[in-house]
């Protein structure tokens, strides 16, 4: 399935139009052209409209640059958005 990225940091991202079959706490693999698969966890979900994912390990600088260049204007880099947030199921935005 191909989905759009709304925002991204080295700690996580927000996807637009994800599957409605996701649940908070689900482990997922994020596949991005040019990158090794990235392990992530669903942190919040908005009924298939948007979903927040926290990466199991922060992306390094090279991975982050590749991800942002791949997403182009579709994704807004948001430094450290996902780093210190207490994950209670609330939306990150």
DSSP assignment, residue 93? -
Other beta carbons less than 10 A from residue 18's beta carbon: 22
Q: Tell me if residue 35 falls in helix, strand or coil.
A: coil
Q: Where are the beta strands (DSSP E) in 1-93?
A: 4-9, 12-16, 27-30, 38-45, 50-55, 76-77
What is residue 93's predicted lDDT score, i.e. its pLDDT? 38
Q: Tell me if residue 60 falls in helix, strand or coil.
A: coil
Please determine, for residue 74, whether its predicted confidence score (pLDDT) is greater than 50: yes
Q: How confident is the model at residue 88 (pLDDT cuts 50, 70, 90)?
A: very low
Residue 66, token pair as written in the block:
């590749």
What is residue 27's predicted lDDT score, i.e. its pLDDT? 93
Residue 61, token pair as written in the block:
């600088």
Q: Tell me if residue 67 falls in helix, strand or coil.
A: helix
Domains in the chain, start-ordered, CATH in brackets?
A: 4-72 (2.40.10.220)
- 27-72: per-residue pLDDT in tens? 998 887 777 888 999 998 887 788 899 999 988 888 888 877 777 6
């Amino acid at each position: 399935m191909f989905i759009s990225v709304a925002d991204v940091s080295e700690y996580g991202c927000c996807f637009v139009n994800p599957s409605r079959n996701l649940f908070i706490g689900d482990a997922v693999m994020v596949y991005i052209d040019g990158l090794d698969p990235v392990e992530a966890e669903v942190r919040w979900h908005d009924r298939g409209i948007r979903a927040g994912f926290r990466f199991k390990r922060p992306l390094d600088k090279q991975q982050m640059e590749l991800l942002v260049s791949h997403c182009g204007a579709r994704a807004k880099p948001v430094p450290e958005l996902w780093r210190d947030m207490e994950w209670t199921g609330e939306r990150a935005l």
